[in-house]
Amino acid sequence: ETGVTQSPTHLIKTRGQQVTLRCSSQSGHNTVSWYQQALGQGPQFIFQYYREEENGRGNFPPRFSGLQFPNYSSELNVNALELDDSALYLCASSRTQRDTQYFGPGTRLTVL
Amino acid sequence: AQTVTQSQPEMSVQEAETVTLSCTYDTSESDYYLFWYKQPPSRQMILVIRQEAYKQQNATENRFSVNFQKAAKSFSLKISDSQLGDAAMYFCAYPNTGTASKLTFGTGTRLQVTL
């Protein structure tokens, strides 16, 4: 059984640019959640997708957006990047919206 | 607002010894789950153990066990026979019970394992 995968592993962007991060959910999972983890902190919930619809959102501005595809993989898009967006972005998948979440290895985003 | 508190920023344990990491949480829910996740330097968040609040029996997974005190809203993790590979950040997490299962994490405890 393949676990949660994320791409790319690392990414460097400049302020004002746009970025897309990708996540493939674990087999049999229809829900994907995204988290932002700043250095030295616990992850913060960005949003969750369930069956291709956004199903809850944390305290993040609209320039953070996402998609979920029919195969339940997902994208996180961030527009107008700011320096504070530099963080580890974690994707987690679960069997349903309220089931245990299993995490991918993360994407390290650096904004210069 | 739901909060999760880990009061020990760092802990150290000798190999083969036992260590307990503390976590308290705040909720008005009666039925919920609690989780401990481990994040080694490789960064991947790995599920260590899950506790269901309606179960009185404390969860165990091999060398990992919890001490769940529902009335006190306390959820500590005990690691027995510590190994070098246990060195990592440990996060306690609580999911809300709304439509979207948003996990709220504590600030983490860094565990060092020494020889």
With beta carbons less than 8 A apart as the criterion, state whether A74 and A49 touch. Answer: yes
Report the pLDDT value the prediction gives residue B43, as an integer from 0 to 100: 87
Q: Name chain A contacts of B100, Cβ cutoff 8 Å.
A: 33, 47-48, 50, 55-57, 97
Q: How far is A54 from chain B (nearest CA, A)?
A: 9
Report the pLDDT value the prediction gives residue B56, as an integer from 0 to 100: 82
Report the pLDDT value the prediction gives residue B101, as an integer from 0 to 100: 73
Report the pLDDT value the prediction gives residue B28, as an integer from 0 to 100: 80
Q: Please name the residue that has the structure tokens 């245990």.
A: A100
For residues A56 and A110, the model is more confident at A110
Report the pLDDT value the prediction gives residue B98, as an integer from 0 to 100: 59
Q: What does the block give as tokens for B36?
A: 């401990």
The string of pLDDT tens digits covering residues A12-38 is 999 999 999 999 999 999 999 999 999
**Tally of CB atoms within 10 A around A25:** 28
Output the average pLDDT for chain A: 94
Query: Is the pLDDT confidence value at B69 over 70?
Result: yes
Report the pLDDT value the prediction gives residue B111, as an integer from 0 to 100: 98
The string of pLDDT tens digits covering residues B10-33 is 999 999 999 999 999 988 877 788
Q: Is the peptide bond before A8 cis (omega within 30 degrees of 0)?
A: yes
- Inter-chain CB proximity B98 and A99 less than 8 Å: no
Task: State how far the Cα of A5 lies from the Cα of A73, in Å rounded to an integer.
Answer: 10
Helix/strand/coil for B3: strand
Report the pLDDT value the prediction gives residue B20, as an integer from 0 to 100: 98
Q: Name chain B contacts of A33, Cβ cutoff 8 Å.
A: 100-103
CA-wise closest residue to B47 among A90, A44, A89:
A90
Task: State how far the Cα of A82 lies from the Cα of B43, in Å rounded to an integer.
Answer: 23
Helix/strand/coil for B66: strand
Q: Name chain A contacts of B108, Cβ cutoff 8 Å.
A: 41-42
Report the pLDDT value the prediction gives residue A5, as an integer from 0 to 100: 96
Mean pLDDT on B5-12? 96
Please give the DSSP secondary-structure letter assigned to residue B9.
S
Half-sphere exposure of A36 (CA within 13 A, CB side): 19
Task: State how far the Cα of A25 lies from the Cα of A95, in Å rounded to an integer.
Answer: 10
The string of pLDDT tens digits covering residues B76-107 is 999 999 999 999 999 999 887 655 578 999 99
Report the pLDDT value the prediction gives residue B97, as an integer from 0 to 100: 65
Residue of B nearest to A53 (CA): B100
Report the pLDDT value the prediction gives residue B100, as an integer from 0 to 100: 53
Per-residue confidence at B54, pLDDT binned at 50, 70, 90? confident
